[in-house]
Amino acid sequence: MQVTFPSYYNAFSCIADACPDTCCAGWQIMIDDRSLKKYRRFQGTFRNRLHNDIDWEEHAFRQYGHRCAFLNEENLCDMYTALGEKSLCRTCKMYPRHVEEFEDVREMTLSVSCPEVARILLGKKEPVRFLTYESNKEEEYDDFDPFLYSKLVDARKVMIDILQDRDKKLDLRVGLVLAIAHDLQVRIKREDIFSIDDVFEKYQTEKAVQFVEAKLSEDENYAFIKKMFRNQYLMERLRDDWEPHLLEAESLLYGDIGCSDSEEQCTKYKEQYAKNKQEFHTWLNTHMPDYEIWYEQLLVYFISTYFCGAVYDGEAYVKVQMAVVSVLLIHELLMAQWLKNEKMLEMEDVVDTVYRYSRELEHSDPNLNLMEKLMRRDLLSWFKKDE
């Protein structure tokens, strides 16, 4: 089996109680069968605590106030303190490591839902590289199309190479990647997998660059951005403070929520948004000139993590859209924070926004599924000519 991982993978080390948040609150922590059997058979002085604070029917640790029962007031794990690292279940040992499995391939990533991972990734100036090694472990998967998977891997590499081409403006890179994913989706739908290589060649020509640049210049995305932002209210809440945070951000960005005022008033909100956006970009260029590198790293993160999952559902375009919309929403949330801070932003604000957004999306299967459903419904419609 081939194992892949990003070049910053081994830079991570848990900072424990120095972390600004905790990974042991806000979501249910499931226990693998092997660990569950170990806890059930435990005979030491910690036995009563284990038996009382595990939901044996749900195969999960109990929660009190949305916090794991073993999480103490110092945000440290009582089980780890009492029994050591070997006592931890697979979920607790793995996080923030994330695994995607394919036939003969295991892809390891670090989730930016962890503040320390977000800090590492956002502080990385050079383009992310992906390393591999061979493992003796072998797995077999039913209903796996190795040929489609190989083409998805090729497509992902082309898209990441484009995203990391810093000689091009970021919006052009994003447009090219969306165009590739769109045309790739058309061929998957037609079951014309053999022509996928033509898509890669097409969007590496000057003609394709000019086509995408023209599409970008005519795009008016205010209504789309606002709609995508409000779609977040449809999602499952993992943290109680997330929806108030969204409501405050929406008001700062788009004016009165719902815009039930006159058309003239709504137009004023739109004009103010455009003014704020321009000023925010000017401020970023002056005070945080690496912000496009952050967005590049996040796009590569989302695409490298989720894109090849299209081998199971055929939804290649949706997964790229999810990556682009996620970075777009992070940008909107950062602009709202900048406005709230009286037009100032610190790196802590950026890390905070990234990991909190990731937690709400990536740690809920219903939210990931809903996000993909919304992407299918509200397709980015720049590239329709091949359909």
Confidence check: pLDDT of 35 > 90 = yes
Residues with Cβ within 8 Å of 97's Cβ and at least 6 positions away in sequence, in order, are 108, 109, 110, 111
Residue 382: what pLDDT?
A: 47
pLDDT band at 11 (very low <50, low <70, confident <90, very high): very high
The mean pLDDT value for 23-51 works out to 90
Listed range (153-167, 217-231, 296-310, 337-351) with the worst mean pLDDT? 217-231
Q: What pLDDT is recorded for position 217? A: 65
Mean pLDDT of 255-283: 81
Cβ contact 360:156 at 8 Å? no
For residues 224-247, give the mean pLDDT: 92
Does the pLDDT value for residue 37 go beyond 80?
A: yes
- State the pLDDT at residue 386: 41
Q: Of 271 and 283, which is predicted with more confidence?
A: 283
pLDDT in tens, 197-213: 999 989 888 898 888 88
> Is cis: bond before 366, omega within 30 of 0?
no
CB burial of residue 374 (10 Å; 0-12, 13-18, 19+):
buried
Q: What percent of the chain has pLDDT over 90?
A: 69
pLDDT level of residue 330 (50, 70, 90 thresholds): very high
pLDDT at 140: 63
Once rounded to an integer, what is the mean pLDDT over residues 50-62? Answer: 93
pLDDT at residue 264, rounded to an integer: 72
Residue 109 β-bridge partners: 98
Query: Looking at residue 383, what is its pLDDT?
Result: 47
Cα three-residue angle 85-86-91, rounded to 5 degrees:
80
pLDDT at residue 364 is higher than 50: yes
Provide mean pLDDT across the span 266-277. Answer: 88
| Stretch among 159-163, 178-182, 218-222, 296-300 having the lowest mean pLDDT | 218-222
pLDDT over 80 (residue 256): no
Q: Is the pLDDT of residue 119 over 80?
A: yes
Q: How confident is the model at residue 385 (pLDDT cuts 50, 70, 90)?
A: very low
> What band does 270 get if pLDDT is binned at 50, 70 and 90?
confident
48-62, 217-231, 271-285, 351-365: segment of lowest average pLDDT:
217-231
**Residues 193/202, Cβ–Cβ less than 8 Å:** no
**pLDDT the model gives residue 266:** 76
pTM of the model: 0.89
In the sheet that holds 2-6, the strands lie side by side as 97-102, 105-110, 2-6, 130-134
pLDDT of 260 reads 56
Q: Which residues of 254-277 are buried (b: 16+ CB within 10 A; e: fewer)?
A: bbeeeeeeeeeeeeebbeebeebb
Residue 19, CA atoms < 13 Å, CB-side half-sphere: 21
Q: How confident is the model at residue 262 (pLDDT cuts 50, 70, 90)?
A: low
Q: What pLDDT does residue 384 have?
A: 46
Name the pLDDT band for 380 (thresholds 50, 70, 90). Answer: low
Of 296, 318, 333, 327, residue with least CA distance to 369 = 318
Handedness of CA 208, 214, 217, 223 (dihedral sign): negative
368 close to 361: Cβ distance less than 8 angstroms = yes
Contacts of 191 (CB under 8 A, 6+ apart): none
* 204-226: average pLDDT: 80
Higher pLDDT, 97 or 25: 97
